Amino acid sequence: MTDITKEAPSPPRSFLSQDAIQLFYRLLAVLLICAVLAVLNDSFLSLGNILNVLRQASLTFFIASGLTLVVLTAGLDLSVGANVALSACVAGTVIHTTGSPVLGILTGLACGGIVGLLNGIMVTALRIPSFIATYGMLWVLNGLTYWYMAGETLHGFPAGFRQIGSGYLFGLPIPVYLLLVFLGIGTLFAQRTIWGQEIYAIGANPVAARLSGIPVTRRLLLVYAVSGTMAGLASIIFLSRLNSAEADIGESLTLPAIAAVLIGGTSLFGGVGTVFGTFIGALILTLVLNGMNLLSVSANWQPLVTGIIVILAVWLDMKTRRRAQ
């Protein structure tokens, strides 16, 4: 008599990864928000408004894309907005002094990168938690910027330089082209390079990453330097767009950047998330803010709505990931 043993049925496997499903839901949210706003306001689907949404989303994305790498390592950079302000003021001064936009751009990028590197040194060498280190850096940068500007405002930059933030090419704002370039570079770096995979590994388990031979300290220095450099790039775009620089230019930029990262699905606990998801997060946030402006919602309510969206996004993400595990 043959002894027949039955294996326990294995759970059904989805042909889509959890990240792909999360991204699908976010794209669905974008379509839903667009449909609702199109019904509520006739101006929403106008070409001018769509281009304005893309331009605003690109400005948030530049700051949030570098921040995404930091959050992937389970860190946080609260100084990005203050970094944008200092870099813009320094770059603006160089352009005014030398008359060279190229030198000003390079100075702004270098300033942002150095600030990011200092954040990385505090996190790795001094072992200060990233939240505290970058929060302290925020105040240091604010103090330096207000002292440096001494209440003055820089304005009146060369017309060619202003094209970076305000110009169009084949009907699209130039910042949108820059967004596509850096979206491609960021996605390829994070998901197709060894360094990118090591960043995910550090965020998932830093001890295991170190034991497996990953140079954790050097990778952390890299991600904070990249985050700072992207803040420097955003400072150039803002400087060109606004045609002015003043000490408080970055005060309202940090929280939207963090919100874009979290809405885009990057986990605060590290190891999960994508740069493309951050782009979708920046788009969702910009659409909501644009919709409130079109519907004449008071500016006093906008931070409250933004905060609720962030809390809901994080809660839903944690709930779905727990269910998947």
Assigned token pair, 285:
């946030």
Is residue 10's pLDDT more than 60?
no
Separation between Cα atoms, residue 11 and residue 319, nearest integer Å: 20
d(C-alpha 86, C-alpha 93), whole Å: 11
Write out pLDDT tens, residues 26-37: 889 899 999 999
Q: Which of 183-187, 279-283, 317-321 is predicted with the least confidence, judged by mean pLDDT?
A: 317-321
Sign of CA dihedral 19, 202, 219, 81: positive
Q: How far apart are CA 123 and CA 112, in angstroms?
A: 17
pLDDT at 11: 44
DSSP bridge partners of 155 = 244
Question: pTM for this structure?
Answer: 0.88
Cβ(240)–Cβ(161) below 8 Å? yes
Average pLDDT, stretch 7-25? Answer: 61
- Quick: pLDDT tens for 171-223: 899 999 999 999 999 999 998 999 999 999 999 999 999 999 999 999 999 99
What percentage of residues in the chain have a pLDDT greater than 90? 65
Confidence at residue 132, expressed as pLDDT on a 0 to 100 scale: 95
With cut-offs at 50, 70 and 90, classify the pLDDT of residue 323.
low
- What is the average pLDDT across 43-61? 91
Q: Which residues pair with 1 in a beta bridge?
A: none
Confidence of residue 321 (pLDDT cuts 50, 70, 90): low
Residue 265 has pLDDT above 90, yes or no: no
DSSP string covering 139-194, please?
Answer: HHHHHHHHHHHTT--EE---HHHHHHHH-EETTEEHHHHHHHHHHHHHHHHHHHSH
